[in-house]
Amino acid sequence: MLKHIFKRLIIGFLLVFLFACSDKVQLQPLTDNSTVLAFGDSLTYGTGTSRDKTYPAVLERHIQRKVINAGKPGEISAEGVLRLPMLIKQYQPELIIICHGGNDILRKIKPDKTRANIQQMITLAKQNNIQVILIGVPKLGILLNTAPIYDALAAENQLPYLSDIIGHILSKAALKSDRVHPNADGYQLLAREVTRLLIESGAIEIINSPT
């Protein structure tokens, strides 16, 4: 009797494990000559470091694909929605990495408006058959917890998602240049985490150490 119960428990744990593994969002592999568009505000632009040490620049060296730094310091999400179509037309990326909304939070724009704007970005990408990765941005406060809208957007759109990396970086004095921006080490960690997510989601197969 105990053996049967034990076997059922083992099978149950295995099923939970398998379902958890299969629940990860998968992307189509990026072609070797693909372009990735890193889209956002100053966190993408790389405020706090030099251009060759921004997260898009480091990511490009990691994944050996062209990564366009489309970060614009000070931009709010409503402005980003207007800017994105031109960038899609210009670069025709296979993948867009969205890290936007930080300035909305700083300016205390209503979260529902930010969420709707980022949803428009995601929808526009999908309408153009472009894959999307989402990076969460933390709320104002001591704990730097990611704003709930990002969890919701990632779940509703079934996106590969980095939830807590920005908050983690900004909670470490050694990884930030000021209160709201990483330094070179922080951006390097962000690029590493994006690369890890690309590998886990099946978009790329290998990682190369940045120089």
| pLDDT one-digit tens code per residue, 81-114 | 999 999 999 999 999 999 999 999 999 999 999 9
At residue 208, the pLDDT reads 53
Per the CB < 8 A criterion, the answer to whether 135 and 166 are in contact is yes
Domain total in the chain: 1
Q: What is the dihedral of CA 95, 79, 91, 40, to 10 degrees?
A: -50
Is pLDDT of 11 > 90? no
CA nearest 36: which of 81, 79, 80, 98? 98
Whole-number mean pLDDT of the chain?
90
Q: Is residue 209 one of the residues assigned to a domain?
A: no
Strand partners, 132: 96
In a domain, 12, yes or no: no
Asked, for residue 3, whether it belongs to a domain, the answer is no
Percent of the chain with pLDDT over 70: 86
Q: In this structure, is residue 89 part of a structural domain?
A: yes
Comparing CA positions, the residue from 136, 150, 133, 115 lying closest to residue 195 is 133
Mean pLDDT within 1-19? 43
Given a cut of 60, is residue 60 above it in pLDDT? Answer: yes
Q: Is residue 193 assigned to a domain?
A: yes
Helices (H), 37-183: 42-45, 55-63, 77-91, 102-106, 111-127, 148-157, 165-170
Domain of 75 in residue numbering reads as: 31-200
15 belongs to a structural domain: no
Q: Does 173 fall in a domain?
A: yes
Q: State both tokens at 158.
A: 């079934």
In this structure, what CATH number is given to the domain that contains residue 121? 3.40.50.1110
